[in-house]
Amino acid sequence: MCLTKTPPSDTERPLRGFSSIPQVQTHEGNLGMEESGGNKKRVVIVGGGVAGALVARSLQFCADVVLVDQKEYFEIPWGSLRAMVEPSFAERTVINHSDYLTNARIVASSATDITKSKVVTEDGHSLAYDYLVIATGHMDTVPRTRAERLSQYQAESKKIKSADTVLIVGGGPTGVELAGEIIVDYPEKKVVLVHRGLRLLEFIGFKASQKALDWLTSKNVQVIFDRSIHLDKASDGAIQTSAGETIKADCHFDCTGKQMGSSWLKETFLKDSLDLRGRLMVDENLRVRGHKNVFGIGDITDIKNGGICNAKKADGIFHSKKLDLIGSGITTIPLYYSLFHMISLSMYQEIKQGYLAQKHAHVTVKNLKLLLTGGKESDLFTYKTSINVAIVSLGRKEAVAQFPFLTCIGRMPGLMKSGDLFVGKTRKQLGLKPDQ
């Protein structure tokens, strides 16, 4: 069974950056296998995002846990856009790993290689494992320390505050939420959102997409579709679109999709476990297919909702039906067509949302606790997908939400998310006070 232990008081808590069991020490040029003490099984978790942090926190008294992450902190991702307009918000969303991992080792480095028995990191650690959890999500370039990250938010906030025109590139949830945060806090600013697709929020249904567009345009946000932008060619605030248009902006933010954080796996024994998009192929227990002691969780996985992972196919079916109706003289799209579109999206692909990464973590923790205590393979828990649900915040009080049989916008969904952005709830899951 897992040991339960009350987290130490502030006087008992180890110094920041050190945990209550011996830290892995870096020895230049030394790649010898680093073994744990005692008889505990060794669990190495690569990736300190939503899923990886929760698994590490939940297993720290059950096994010899090592968390490998390129940065020294965990960040609540759905609070990052609020922090860009309100930097003090980041004091609660950027959390040192050592604050919630009181009985685990933390290696602040990137993993560069794995074998069937160890993880090798960029700074020279060689970490033996009995069980491995890969949770590296998407690639992101962020500072190493919490202090640097907080300073970055201060700088971004000043940039927005001093700008007359703000350009946002990308019409997914990040771009839409950032536009909402800026236009609500600074209604006098001109906000331009450029998206290469034909609609916003393509990961959810058409109805929710249209409601978000209507909300943004009602706030005088200029939305430009079917355009791409090369930000590296910007000159003196003048940025050109793929159609040759020039947009002048005082600052810009790239909110386009990030690459999968799996490139480091392409030369490892898991290279054949990656699909064409670089996602880890996992089974119903969230183990990498064919590897009983390796789990894959979070955004890096290929989890499907019962069909080929191709949300654009659902879009295509919906739009062809819509055109057929319009060609017949019908201008109002029946409710059942919108429902068909939403359900089709769910069938093809599990959306990449934080609450689903947390769900992955909970199932993985149950399975690892079972395996760590000698449980049977036949008793492993199965990860069950569900119809996709999404809430996209629109400033501090409103949101657009897609539920199984309801799509809505305004204060009601805003009450569910937009005020605190689930930050207090997430901090409590890590054993921290919600308001500090």
What pLDDT is stored for residue 230 in this prediction?
83
Q: Which helix (H) or strand (E) holds 55?
A: helix 50-59
What pLDDT is stored for residue 17 in this prediction?
34
Q: Do domains 42-140+259-303 and 147-257+389-417 have the same CATH topology?
A: yes
What pLDDT is stored for residue 368 in this prediction?
98
Q: CA-CA distance, 363 to 312, in Å (whole number)?
A: 29
Bridging pattern class, strands 222-224 and 238-240: unpaired
What pLDDT is stored for residue 231 in this prediction?
84
Q: Computed over its alpha carbons, how large is the radius of gyration of the chain?
A: 23
Low-confidence spans in the chain with pLDDT less than 50 = 4-32, 306-315, 317-318, 321-323, 325-326, 330-333, 336-337, 341-342, 344-347
Ranges of each domain in the chain: 42-140+259-303, 147-257+389-417, 311-348
CATH superfamily of 147-257+389-417: FAD/NAD(P)-binding domain (3.50.50.60)
Q: Please, is 343 exposed, middle or buried when counting C-beta atoms within 10 Å of its C-beta (0-12, 13-18, 19+)?
A: middle
39: left (phi over 0), alpha (psi -120 to 50) or beta: alpha
What CATH code would you report for 42-140+259-303? 3.50.50.60
Q: Which residue has the tokens 């409103």?
A: 398
Q: CA-CA distance, 217 to 36, in Å (whole number)?
A: 57
Q: CA-CA distance, 197 to 311, in Å (whole number)?
A: 13
What pLDDT is stored for residue 309 in this prediction?
36
Q: CA-CA distance, 179 to 82, in Å (whole number)?
A: 11
What pLDDT is stored for residue 348 in this prediction?
60
177: left (phi over 0), alpha (psi -120 to 50) or beta: alpha
Q: Check if the beta carbon of residue 144 is closer than 8 Å to that of residue 70.
A: yes
Q: Which helix (H) or strand (E) holds 156?
A: helix 146-162
What pLDDT is stored for residue 236 in this prediction?
82
Q: Is the whole-model pTM more than 0.85?
A: no
Q: Check if the beta carbon of residue 393 is closer than 8 Å to that of residue 422.
A: no
